[in-house]
Amino acid sequence: MWPDRRITELFGIEHPILLAPMAGPSTAELGIAVSEAGGLGAFACAMSTPEQVRTAMSVMRQRTSKPINLNFFTHIPPVPDAAREARWKARLGPYYAELGVDPEKPVPSADRAPFGEATCRIVEEFKPEVVSFHFGLPEDRLLQRVRAAGARIIASATTAREARWLAERGCDAIIAQGAEAGGHRGMFLTDDVASQAGTFALVPQVVDAVEVPVIAAGGIADGRGIAAAFALGASAVQVGTAYLFCPEARMSELHRNALRSARDDDTALTNIFSGRPARGILNRVMRELGPMSGDAPAFPLAGGALAPLRAAAEAKGSGDFTSLWSGQSASLCHEMPAAQLTQELVREALDRLKAIGG
Amino acid sequence: MWPDRRITELFGIEHPILLAPMAGPSTAELGIAVSEAGGLGAFACAMSTPEQVRTAMSVMRQRTSKPINLNFFTHIPPVPDAAREARWKARLGPYYAELGVDPEKPVPSADRAPFGEATCRIVEEFKPEVVSFHFGLPEDRLLQRVRAAGARIIASATTAREARWLAERGCDAIIAQGAEAGGHRGMFLTDDVASQAGTFALVPQVVDAVEVPVIAAGGIADGRGIAAAFALGASAVQVGTAYLFCPEARMSELHRNALRSARDDDTALTNIFSGRPARGILNRVMRELGPMSGDAPAFPLAGGALAPLRAAAEAKGSGDFTSLWSGQSASLCHEMPAAQLTQELVREALDRLKAIGG
């Protein structure tokens, strides 16, 4: 059936399709639907409190007995830098004036928490079958506890060097995150956006660099992409943007509308929304300040001063200041429930593999 | 055998593998070897005089009866801008001082000629089976003469919009040039490097946008990539960097050595060598001035002031000022003659298609 069963056997799932964990849009319902359809559902914890993670995991455990992937960011919390943040706020000053937002009002601080003691205890309690990390790995002491809880450990690599680094530290599989991918780049041994490789180039070079199976990510949104990932040597795929079109994703109508009309060249990598490079649909603030800016404070602080602008603009129906995360293949996606999407991806991919298989 | 025969039938070739035309490394011998092995050989004319093109085409016609692709740039020659060029030269001033090069010595002017009357006459004389264009298409009057000479006409698209534009003007096939590709981006309806899509995202979106067959390019360097291109819906592939490793390519030892050690994240898109974005291996001048610079004069003038620096540095064995064109998959390549490479790509691709074909 599937030409490579290393990942389906490793995770105990039927189909080699992983729901990309997307902090923000992630819901228990989305994860449940994908797992129940035979893929690997996920819940992204980076923008949730430990209590919210616990609730989501409880709901998922009640509603499916299939494997689940719990995903965490592993960044080191930034040292606040008042001067840099003041400079950023000054840079945004004209927008505050334009939108009539009081620049003296305090802005929210860090809205993304790294994996730590509290979330590690949730892993130990619920024992998710897979735990995935973004931006490298947590400190060894925590990683050992995750392993002891029985989870398969996977993490994102954006270069072959990062893939080797992760494999040497015991990751059971590597996500090769090509430059097409939406949302935050998992990069952790490099900060050079200009040299990031596309999925087509990255996947075979990661496959050649490590012994463990590789999960292709970035620009995969239909059966053609899944078949192509197997051709390149991947053992599974991770799909993000396509699942943002599902009703189970927590998405504003504004973000949904932007995705519906996004073309192949409507996105770019930007650091202005968080301080780290992430791919989103080009909008006014990206064009005017970046898309990459040397002024953006360290992750995740850049987002704080933008938050009031985003709220004010969105209240008027404008996405000018909103992070409209998307990969480069939004135009390949269709709106449907997540279980149906998973089934269609399976059917399309198997049909495609058969059609090209000589 | 091959799962899609639209391109092999259109061009009258055995295997759906096109040698990427690469102005500089391109030689008659390289084109002959690929055509004789059953692919589509090419000669890139952009850096040759009409007399050199005539000689190359004569040699190719003598040594193979198989189809040949003659490739041309179609840029509009720039209006000289003395102030901008002086600013660029001033920017390079410290390098002139460092390398002991006289900044008053005149620099070479434009070294790349667009398709025009003289080259059109060569097309009419030699009637290449395929003529390919980069940076859009020539004016309609010339395009009609190429068509009347019996050539199949193809051109590069870097977005789905460019692909539609080319198809509407009668191109027989479209090259979807993903961001992984080495050398100059064919972009002509956009100048936004940040939004260029990777091969994995671009190919299916171009396939969906046009009726004519699509040739995938960018990051394809082994049988896995060729199989993946077919999975994405392409009818053929265009391979560049892998052929730079062949003895038939006109390459400096310095460029060859840089390619031998290039990793997945060692390249970037830069405009400093010519004024237009092109992918090359990151070196000192790219890191220090760019890789993209708003100061670079219009294509192809930026290269003039760099030429003496390149010559002086290369004389000392340094590639600090050399355009080391490469795609993102150099690490997948191996040194061997072009005929053997073509045969190995065919064998690997067919094996791979069989292996994943359920």
Length of chain A: 358
Ordered DSSP codes for B96-156? HHHHT--TTSPPP----PPS-HHHHHHHHHH--SEEEEESS---HHHHHHHHHTT-EEEEE
Q: Could you tell me which of A232, A187, A185 has the C-alpha nearest to residue A213? A: A232
Chain A residues within 8 A of B1 when measuring between CB atoms: 358
Is B180 in Cβ contact with A3 (below 8 Å)? no
Chain A residues with CB-CB distance to B230 below 8 A: 231, 356
- Whether A282 and B195 lie within 8 Å, measured CB to CB: yes
Per-residue model confidence as pLDDT tens digits over B56-107: 999 999 999 999 999 999 999 888 899 999 999 999 999 999 999 999 888 8
The pLDDT assigned to B358 comes to: 62
Q: Which amino acid is at A170?
A: G
Distance from CA of B243 to the nearest CA of A (A): 16
Categorize the per-residue pLDDT at B110 as very low, low, confident or very high, splitting at 50, 70 and 90: low
The answer to whether A229 contacts B224, with C-beta atoms less than 8 Å apart, is no
CA distance B355 to chain A (A): 7
Terminal CA-to-CA distance of chain B, rounded, Å?
A: 15
Look at residue B281 and give its three-state secondary structure. Answer: strand
Distance in Å, alpha carbon of B338 to nearest chain A alpha carbon: 21
Residues of B whose CB is below 8 A from A227? 231, 356
pLDDT of residue B1: 87
* Cross-strand bridge partners of residue A70: A43, A131
Which residues of chain A are within 8 Å of residue B231 when distances are taken between CB atoms? 224-225, 227-228, 230-231, 352-353, 356
- pLDDT, one tens digit per residue, over B210-235 is 999 999 999 999 999 999 999 999 99
Q: Which of A195, A205, A355 lies closest to B282 in CB terms?
A: A195
Smallest Cα distance from A60 to chain B, Å: 32
Q: What is the 3-state secondary structure (H, E, C) of chain B?
A: CCCCCHHHHHHCCCCCEEECCCCCCCCHHHHHHHHHCCCEEEEECCCCCHHHHHHHHHHHHHHCCCCEEEEEECCCCCCCCHHHHHHHHHHCHHHHHHHCCCCCCCCCCCCCCCCCHHHHHHHHHHCCCEEEEECCCCCHHHHHHHHHCCCEEEEEECCHHHHHHHHHCCCCEEEEECCCCCEECCCCCCCCHHHCCCHHHHHHHHHHHCCCCEEEECCCCCHHHHHHHHHCCCCEEEECHHHHCCCCCCCCHHHHHHHHCCCCCCEEEECCCCCCCEEEECCHHHHHHCCCCCCCCCCCCHHHHHHHHHHHHHHCCCCCCCCCECCCCHHHCCCCCHHHHHHHHHHHHHHHHHHHCC
The residues pairing with A214 across neighbouring beta strands, listed in sequence order, are A174
- Taking CB atoms and an 8 Å limit, are A201 and B1 in contact across chains? no
B349 contacts in chain A (CB < 8 Å): none
Size of interface A-B (CB pairs under 8 A): 202
C-alpha distance from A224 to closest chain B C-alpha (Å): 5
Name the residue facing A222 among B204, B225, B264 (closest C-beta). Answer: B204
Give the per-residue pLDDT at B105. 85
Residue count of chain B, please give it. Answer: 358
Q: What is the mean pLDDT of each run of 10 residues along chain A (358 residues)?
A: 96 98 97 98 96 97 98 92 92 97 83 91 98 98 98 98 98 98 98 98 98 98 98 98 98 98 98 97 97 95 93 97 98 98 98 92
What is the pLDDT at residue B80? 86
As beta bridge partners, residue B44 has: B71
At B108 the pLDDT is: 76
Distance CA A130, CA A140 (A): 17
Chain B residues touching residue A208 (CB < 8 angstroms): 331-332
> Which residues have CB under 8 Å from B162's CB, separation 6+?
B136, B156, B186, B187, B188, B189, B190
Question: Which tokens in the block code for residue B102?
Answer: 């006289």
Domains present along chain A, CATH in parentheses:
6-75+112-252+332-356 (3.20.20.70), 79-110+267-325 (no CATH)
Cβ-defined contact of A197 to B205 (cutoff 8 Å): no
B357 chain-A contacts, CB cut-off 8 A: 3, 353-354, 356-358
Contacts of A158 in chain B (CB under 8 A): 265
**Using 50, 70 and 90 to split pLDDT, how confident is the model at B134?**
very high
Structure tokens at B19: 């040698």
A-chain residue closest to B226, CA distance: A231
State whether A200 and B222 contact (CB < 8 Å): no
The CA distances from residue A146 to A12, A49, A120, in Å, are: 18, 19, 7
* Residue contact A332–B204, C-beta within 8 A: yes
- For residue B124, count other CB atoms closer than 10 A to its CB: 14
Helices (H) and strands (E) in chain A, counts: 15, 11
Q: How far off is chain A from B264, nearest CA to CA, in Å?
A: 6
Report field, pTM of the whole predicted structure over 0.90: yes
> Strand, helix or coil at A30?
helix
User: What values do phi and psi take at A18, rounded to 5?
Assistant: -105, 130
Are A207 and A229 a contacting pair, CB within 8 Å?
no
Contact A201 B228 (CB under 8 A): no
Cβ-based contacts of B331 with chain A (< 8 Å)? 160, 205, 208
- The minimum CA-CA distance between A185 and chain B, rounded to whole Å, is 14
